[in-house]
Structure 1
Amino acid sequence: LKCSHVNILTPVVGTLQECASEQSYRRAIRMEGMIEDLVKNLSSEHEELQMLCASAIFKCAEDKETRDLVRQHGGLQPLSVLLGNTENKQLLAAVTGAIWKCAISGENVSKLQEYKTLEALVGLLTDQPDEVLVNVVGALGECCQEQINRTIIRKCGGIPPLVKLLTGTDQALLVNVTKAVGACATEPENMMIIDRLDGVRLLWSLLKNPNPDVQASAAWAICPCIENAKDSGEMVRSFVGGLELIVNLLKSKNKEVLASVCAAITNIAKDEENLAVITDHGVVPLLSKLANTNNDKLRRHLAEAISHCCMWGSNRITFGETKAVAPLVRYLKSNDPSVHRATAQALYQLSEDPNNCITMHENGVVKLLLAMVGSTDETLQEAAAGCIANIRRLALATEKAKYG
């Protein structure tokens, strides 16, 4: 690698980038200090060598330590410069891939802002082969985690081409583009553009995609859209069959799909009319059926969905009848504080029904909640105390009825 002869370097880097698909090799490449040489050769005048170096970085940058090394050795600037070479598609695919993976680290994103990389990436959203687009959109999706970049993408006209890509068929591209559109939607100004271009309807139709990764990614993207749309209740109602479609996805076997759909239902249920509709479509028994899970991500979003769905009709009572209460109590033993918070809120809502209070008490909820009344998280504190108060109130009423 230290050699200056291109005809030796090229096959050496070629071999390395083939091996970099394996984690043990990626670790060895990092430990042997090879990242510095790969970065150095990005500035070679030989396009094949540049392409192989970028491809090796693309694969190695799966690991955080490597992403840091690429930055420390000054690799982000030459990668950004190479985006200008739009004729050589193989090189472009490798470079955009390397930028995508490097952008997973926030410190790298700040550097990419300096080099005006985002503007260059937006320029590559049209007339490129899928293998380039997947990486470009992946990189934009990572950069969009920061507010300033969501604004940059809007200002340089990136939202219309992103929304247009929602009509594609390449599964990997759809996963990345839904993530990017969802991240952009967290800004109300971006959301207006997405809505005007019918982006939410396109996301909704991706829920019918047979690939569970696409379904989950679309459902996650729908959440910020509902949160930031002007009249989200009306918008959701305008999708014919949309609510039935999302409720039916609760029958999926894929945990990520289930978690994302629960998150979407949490947002949908904030509108009373839509909550009434999903109740008619049987959302309550389907949510209850999922309650026996050990997956913390699913637990958290499921508890939030249950909590919001309690706000309609006799849903609280139905959750009790469909056996959702006892499994929820067990969630309080999870190690994840966000699960405690969502669960306490759900139990508080459910505890408005006397039968649910009895089930909770029998399952030892009071002891678990008492510990949480002292939490520093005020939402958790309040929900835990509210739930205990409801159980206590029922006990007092029972005693009074018994002993007068």
Structure 2
Amino acid sequence: MGKKVKKENETPSKETFEALPFEGKTPATVVLLLSSPEEDILIKACEALHIFAEKGDENKVSLLELGALEPLCQLITHNNKLVRRNAFMALGIMAINGDVKKALKKMNVIPSIIHKLSLEEDTVVHEYATLCLAPLSLDFVCKVQIFDNKGLPSLIQLLSSPDPDVQKNSLEIIFNLVQDYQCRLAVHELGGIPPLLELLKSDFPVIQHLALETLQNVTTDKDSRSTFMEDQGFDKLMDILNNTDCGDLHAEALRVLANCLSDSECVQLIHKDGRLTRLMDFLVNPNMPEIQSSAVKCIAGVAQISENRILLHELNVEKVLVELLSEADTGVKTSTCQAVAAMSFHLASGIPAVVQGLSSENLKLREAATQALSNLTHSNHLNAFAVYEAGGHQILVQQLYGSCSRTVANAAATLGHMAGQEDIRCSILSHGAIQALVEPLKSTDTQLLIHTTQCLAVLACDTEARAELQSAGGLQPLVNLLRSNHKEILQNACLAITLCASDVPTTAEMCKFGALEMLQEINQSVNRSSSFSKMAMISLINCNLPVKYSLTGHLASTDIISDGFYDAGKVSALLQFMCYRSQFKECRLNLNKQVLKLQISFWNLNLLFKVSAM
């Protein structure tokens, strides 16, 4: 036998363990692999989850329930480029789902996502990172997080990305952010307007729409409008408007244009270059009703400033508006009425068409028509008569029964303007205007009360009108307005009471409702007292000289004492005294013995002897 030789110890092998092929059969298994330390497995697991999530919302929710969200949020910051990219792809697809979005809001993942928006990152990462932020940017808290973590500068940079998906997602986020004023200003300060204008040339309509909608918000700021004009924004919009192939963009382009035209400096600049004429041409040419309506709104915006109205007048805009009033489309008519209201020019030839709008079933058109007539008849007798000729006063009286407070206010204002002419006033009264004004007197709407009391003050100069107001129950709500703290309402109410105090019956009725007491209190107030309240007080007591003497201790040289005057002394219950005295006088004049007996029961015996001795 040979000699045994001792074997030396073998050194450990340096070869790596042979890779095992692995196929995940269930989403749960793949989710578990997201915790693997091996990059190849992470890459394949994220890719598998992305493919699975793309197939529908049920899969997205399933992955959420399996706990995939937290490891994916960690992997988007992984050192390996492919791991980051695939993790973003899976996370971005999942974030579209509402349930996933709610979960993401609680995970404070926004700073990590924004950090990966740098230009050094892969375009695919940009696409899915912005896809992830887009639904989150609808939430107010998330908007604040995006803004505070300096997300806006990176998003503006990505507007110039060569990838249209990145552009679209970034635009969507910026659009959501600029709904807030602070972000709106920041977009301008960060140089966001030039890339937004550049995207108007995009081959993708969705990008063009988003760019215009974002510009519409941004150009509400004056400085942003100036930058927009300096970068030839107006010309680029007009290029879109003059391109028939861009018809789907016209309405949005006009809304951006309307913002610019609300600025007098921009209008002057546009007019100087003859570009305002191009807009007028666009109005005249046949267009889709929505486009034409938006174009007219631009004109209405321009006309808000007096200097601009002069420019529009030079361009003969009144003729164009009159023609547009005959359009069949309700939207065009409504916008045109709004433009007419803003212009306030002498459009007597267009008034019949505006009056027709009062009978429309469309509430917005009726409101716009009443506003236009209110402006047209203000200090303009010719236009007031044109409304009367067109039968507008009859329809306006019916509008006083409407449910829209602005329409009722406009109708009352127009009737008040028209009632300055006696013939028109009589016709307005004959159609029941006084009774129609009673309900609006009970409103709490400030503008409605202002115009209603103004209208009543004009109509109440007629004796029959005052009697009708009393019988319709309008005196009490009128007196109640003396409690108002609004200066104009209080003054108008005092003026109407002054006119109503021309008759003894209405005076007595108003005093019964506490008018004299309230006026005494108003006139003792430093803040509420005015010449109107003093005039109303004098009118009330002038109607009953015994009460005036009892209250003031003297009579004026213009006070004519007639049969029935007596000195009742200082009466403690002055208001009740006045009411009873006027009622007694009325009964005595009518020789109604039965009513006289009822009145006598309320009188003090000594006072009765004095009155009987007259």
TM-score (normalised: structure 2): 0.52
> In the alignment, which residue of structure 2 is the partner of 1:4?
32
For the 8 Å contact 2:393–2:415, the answer to whether it is kept is no
> In the alignment, which residue of structure 1 is the partner of 2:273?
238
Task: Indicate how the Cα distance of structure 1 residues 386 and 203 shifts in structure 2: closer, same or farther if over 3 A, else same.
Answer: same
For the 8 Å contact 1:82–1:95, the answer to whether it is kept is yes
2:261 is aligned, of 226, 230, 235, to 226
Which deviates the most, 298-307 or 99-108?
298-307
The alpha carbon displacement at 1:252 in A equals 0.8
Task: Indicate how the Cα distance of structure 1 residues 15 and 343 shifts in structure 2: closer, same or farther if over 3 A, else same.
Answer: farther
SS of corresponding position for 1:211: helix
Q: Deviations over 1:267-306 (max 9, x none)?
A: 133422225426277343234415535xxxx776454234
User: Residues 339-358 of structure 1 correspond to what in structure 2 (within 5 A)?
Assistant: 342-349=368-375, 352-357=383-388, 358=390
| 2: CA distance, partners of 1:188 / 1:125 | 23
Matched, 1:120 2:154: yes
> In the alignment, which residue of structure 1 is the partner of 2:398?
367
| 1: CA distance, partners of 2:238 / 2:165 | 25
1:19 is aligned, of 40, 48, 56, to 56
* Letter of the structure 1 residue corresponding to residue 327 of structure 2: K
1:92 is aligned, of 126, 137, 140, to 126
> In the alignment, which residue of structure 2 is the partner of 1:389?
416
The alpha carbon displacement at 1:148 in A equals 1.5
2:246 is aligned, of 198, 211, 235, to 211
1:54 is aligned, of 79, 92, 96, to 92
> In the alignment, which residue of structure 1 is the partner of 2:527?
none
| 2: CA distance, partners of 1:290 / 1:107 | 46
1:327 is aligned, of 350, 357, 382, to 357
For the 8 Å contact 2:325–2:337, the answer to whether it is kept is no
| 1: CA distance, partners of 2:393 / 2:358 | 12
For the 8 Å contact 2:63–2:69, the answer to whether it is kept is no
Task: Indicate how the Cα distance of structure 1 residues 165 and 15 shifts in structure 2: closer, same or farther if over 3 A, else same.
Answer: same
| 2: CA distance, partners of 1:260 / 1:124 | 31
For the 8 Å contact 2:357–2:366, the answer to whether it is kept is no
The alpha carbon displacement at 1:127 in A equals 4.3
For the 8 Å contact 1:244–1:281, the answer to whether it is kept is no
Task: Indicate how the Cα distance of structure 1 residues 286 and 393 shifts in structure 2: closer, same or farther if over 3 A, else same.
Answer: same
For the 8 Å contact 1:243–1:277, the answer to whether it is kept is no
SS of corresponding position for 1:330: coil
* Letter of the structure 2 residue corresponding to residue 221 of structure 1: V
For the 8 Å contact 2:110–2:133, the answer to whether it is kept is yes
Task: Indicate how the Cα distance of structure 1 residues 341 and 32 shifts in structure 2: closer, same or farther if over 3 A, else same.
Answer: farther
2:189 is aligned, of 138, 141, 155, to 155
Task: Indicate how the Cα distance of structure 1 residues 328 and 398 shifts in structure 2: closer, same or farther if over 3 A, else same.
Answer: closer
The alpha carbon displacement at 1:219 in A equals 0.9
| 1: CA distance, partners of 2:222 / 2:211 | 19
Which deviates the most, 342-351 or 184-193?
342-351
| 2: CA distance, partners of 1:134 / 1:182 | 17
For the 8 Å contact 1:331–1:343, the answer to whether it is kept is no
| 1: CA distance, partners of 2:106 / 2:414 | 52
| 1: CA distance, partners of 2:411 / 2:357 | 17
Q: How many residues align?
A: 372
Task: Indicate how the Cα distance of structure 1 residues 283 and 29 shifts in structure 2: closer, same or farther if over 3 A, else same.
Answer: farther
Task: Indicate how the Cα distance of structure 1 residues 8 and 269 shifts in structure 2: closer, same or farther if over 3 A, else same.
Answer: same
| 2: CA distance, partners of 1:359 / 1:95 | 64
> In the alignment, which residue of structure 2 is the partner of 1:289?
327
SS of corresponding position for 1:190: helix
Q: Deviations over 1:22-71 (max 9, x none)?
A: xxx6xx957996698457524424212312321342x446xxx8755542
Matched, 1:262 2:296: yes
| 1: CA distance, partners of 2:293 / 2:105 | 34
* Letter of the structure 2 residue corresponding to residue 312 of structure 1: F
Which structure has more helix as a fraction of its residues?
1
TM-score (normalised: structure 1): 0.76
> In the alignment, which residue of structure 1 is the partner of 2:287?
251
1:318 is aligned, of 350, 362, 368, to 350
* Letter of the structure 2 residue corresponding to residue 354 of structure 1: F
Q: Percent identity?
A: 14
Task: Indicate how the Cα distance of structure 1 residues 33 and 368 shifts in structure 2: closer, same or farther if over 3 A, else same.
Answer: farther
**CA RMSD for the aligned pairs?**
3.7
For the 8 Å contact 1:332–1:343, the answer to whether it is kept is no
SS of corresponding position for 2:315: helix
The alpha carbon displacement at 1:384 in A equals 3.6
Task: Indicate how the Cα distance of structure 1 residues 313 and 333 shifts in structure 2: closer, same or farther if over 3 A, else same.
Answer: closer
User: Residues 33-44 of structure 1 correspond to what in structure 2 (within 5 A)?
Assistant: 37-38=68-69, 41-44=72-75
| 2: CA distance, partners of 1:134 / 1:77 | 21
> In the alignment, which residue of structure 1 is the partner of 2:217?
183
The alpha carbon displacement at 1:232 in A equals 1.7
| 2: CA distance, partners of 1:31 / 1:395 | 79
Task: Indicate how the Cα distance of structure 1 residues 308 and 190 shifts in structure 2: closer, same or farther if over 3 A, else same.
Answer: same
Task: Indicate how the Cα distance of structure 1 residues 8 and 137 shifts in structure 2: closer, same or farther if over 3 A, else same.
Answer: closer
Structure number with bigger Rg: 2
Task: Indicate how the Cα distance of structure 1 residues 158 and 39 shifts in structure 2: closer, same or farther if over 3 A, else same.
Answer: farther
Task: Indicate how the Cα distance of structure 1 residues 340 and 399 shifts in structure 2: closer, same or farther if over 3 A, else same.
Answer: closer
* Letter of the structure 1 residue corresponding to residue 252 of structure 2: S
SS of corresponding position for 1:111: helix
| 1: CA distance, partners of 2:67 / 2:328 | 49
Task: Indicate how the Cα distance of structure 1 residues 303 and 164 shifts in structure 2: closer, same or farther if over 3 A, else same.
Answer: same
Task: Indicate how the Cα distance of structure 1 residues 10 and 264 shifts in structure 2: closer, same or farther if over 3 A, else same.
Answer: same
